[in-house]
Amino acid sequence: MDLMKKKAFITGITGQDGSYLTEFLLGKGYEVAGFVRSSSTGHLGNVEHLKNEINFFRGSLDDERSIEVAVSEFKPDEIYNLGAEAAPADSFKRGVYTSDINALGPLRLFEAALRLHRSGMKVKIYQASTSEMFGAPAQIPQNEKTPLLPNNPYGVAKLFAHHNARILREGTEKMFICCGILFNHESPRRGMQYVTRKVTVGVACIANRVKNQPLNEMGQSIITNDWKLEMGSLDPKRDWGYAKEYVQAMWLMLQQDKSDDYVIATGETHTIQELLEVAFSHVGLDWKKHIIVNPSFIRPLETGPLCGNPTKAAKVLGWKPKTKFKELIKMMVDSDLAKFS
């Protein structure tokens, strides 16, 4: 082993962001380790193709002992806490579990890192905060100073972690913890429980007349018998960027002399209806003929309009988004047309 190699420990390594971050850090010469949860299928998700290049620790954010073992044995220079119950809409039905993973989970991890910090090791932490913490925002666009008043249990749990990170950074411990307030970011690796991917998979299944379809959040085929996709409200506004670019911002935050919080966003906002228009028209279909609004998919309390102001990230980190909304959605549709045929 190269003793000069930097070491990064990633929770949520199997997810969308974890996989792009792993590729990025391996490219920079890091030694990378990550959590995989116990399962009978040995699920490695989006990092299956990298399995021989990663050190895996069996563990979970609700298991304090597994966190302690991973952190004390691997002794990372950088920790990226990306693991989460990450679908805001689902959190209304799973509030207690979401809080355990997204609020107490980070605290367990911070405390394990604190023990390393107190022993004299310099450990830097990235905490995955979220634009969902803004709720119905007090200002548009939102920046690092916009009041935080989340409208779902996911956002509330993330806010708990966000403030605990701040306390460890500003208090006497002076830990190096950055929170990335990331706005929605998508890619062909996005899980199907998120609206962008649900739409791009749905479009591919309709365009290719796929019979053996994946299941929706209700456990039914994603497309109805008459080739329609069931959606919640089409009005919410989101700021959508490309995940592969967003993980670079996470790394840049940890390369600064001082830890801080940063909004990572495109500064553009689009409705769910615009998402449908772009995705369906890319395959020559009229979205109005293929969408049914199902009230059970509507959130009890909406978030948004979300539109981030990434000026601080541009100024301090030199980070700027490149991929535009239409380009991103078309990339996802093309990927799903090839996957579901």
Q: Which residues are catalytic?
A: 130, 132, 154
Q: Determine the interface stretch with ligand NAP among 25-33, 145-153, 178-186, 300-308 (rule: CB under 6 A).
A: 178-186
Question: Quick one: which of 9, 15, 33, 236 contacts ligand NAP (CB under 6 A)?
Answer: 15
Q: Are 225 and 1 in contact (CB under 8 A)?
A: no
229 in contact with ligand NAP (CB under 6 A): no
Question: Quick one: which of 9, 17, 126, 232 contacts ligand NAP (CB under 6 A)?
Answer: 17
Q: Determine the interface stretch with ligand NAP among 68-76, 183-191, 205-213, 254-262 (rule: CB under 6 A).
A: 183-191
Q: How far is the CB of 179 from ligand NAP (least distance, A)?
A: 10
Q: How far is the CB of 84 from ligand NAP (least distance, A)?
A: 3
What does the alpha-carbon distance between residue 226 and residue 229 come to, in Å, rounded to a whole number?
Answer: 9
Question: Quick one: which of 25, 71, 82, 278 contacts ligand NAP (CB under 6 A)?
Answer: 82
22 in contact with ligand NAP (CB under 6 A): no
151 in contact with ligand NAP (CB under 6 A): no
- Look up residue 11 and give its amino acid: T
195 in contact with ligand NAP (CB under 6 A): no
Query: 316 — phi, psi (to 5°)?
Result: -85, -40
Residues 109-128 close enough to bind ligand NAP by CB under 6 A:
128
Write b or e for each residue in 166-184: b if 16 or more Cβ atoms lie within 10 A of its Cβ, otherwise e.
eebbeeeeebbbbbbbbbb
232 in contact with ligand NAP (CB under 6 A): no
Question: Quick one: which of 71, 79, 89, 101 contacts ligand NAP (CB under 6 A)?
Answer: 101
What does the alpha-carbon distance between residue 341 and residue 337 come to, in Å, rounded to a whole number?
Answer: 6
What does the alpha-carbon distance between residue 154 and residue 71 come to, in Å, rounded to a whole number?
Answer: 25
- Residue number with the shortest CB distance to ligand NAP? 15
> How many residues sit in the footprint of ligand NAP (CB under 6 A)?
26
Question: Quick one: which of 9, 31, 32, 35 contacts ligand NAP (CB under 6 A)?
Answer: 35
Q: Report the 10 Å Cβ neighbour count for 142.
A: 25
Question: Quick one: which of 7, 9, 79, 83 contacts ligand NAP (CB under 6 A)?
Answer: 83
Q: Determine the interface stretch with ligand NAP among 84-92, 203-211, 289-297, 298-306 (rule: CB under 6 A).
A: 84-92
Q: Are 144 and 310 in contact (CB under 8 A)?
A: no
Residues 50-79 close enough to bind ligand NAP by CB under 6 A:
60-62
What does the alpha-carbon distance between residue 213 and residue 45 come to, in Å, rounded to a whole number?
Answer: 19
Q: Are strands 176-182 and 124-130 parallel, antiparallel or unpaired?
A: parallel
185 in contact with ligand NAP (CB under 6 A): yes
11 in contact with ligand NAP (CB under 6 A): yes
Q: How far is the CB of 87 from ligand NAP (least distance, A)?
A: 7
106 in contact with ligand NAP (CB under 6 A): no
146 in contact with ligand NAP (CB under 6 A): no
Residues that bind ligand NAP (CB under 6 A): 11-12, 14-18, 35, 37, 43, 45, 60-62, 82-86, 101, 128, 130, 182, 184-185, 191
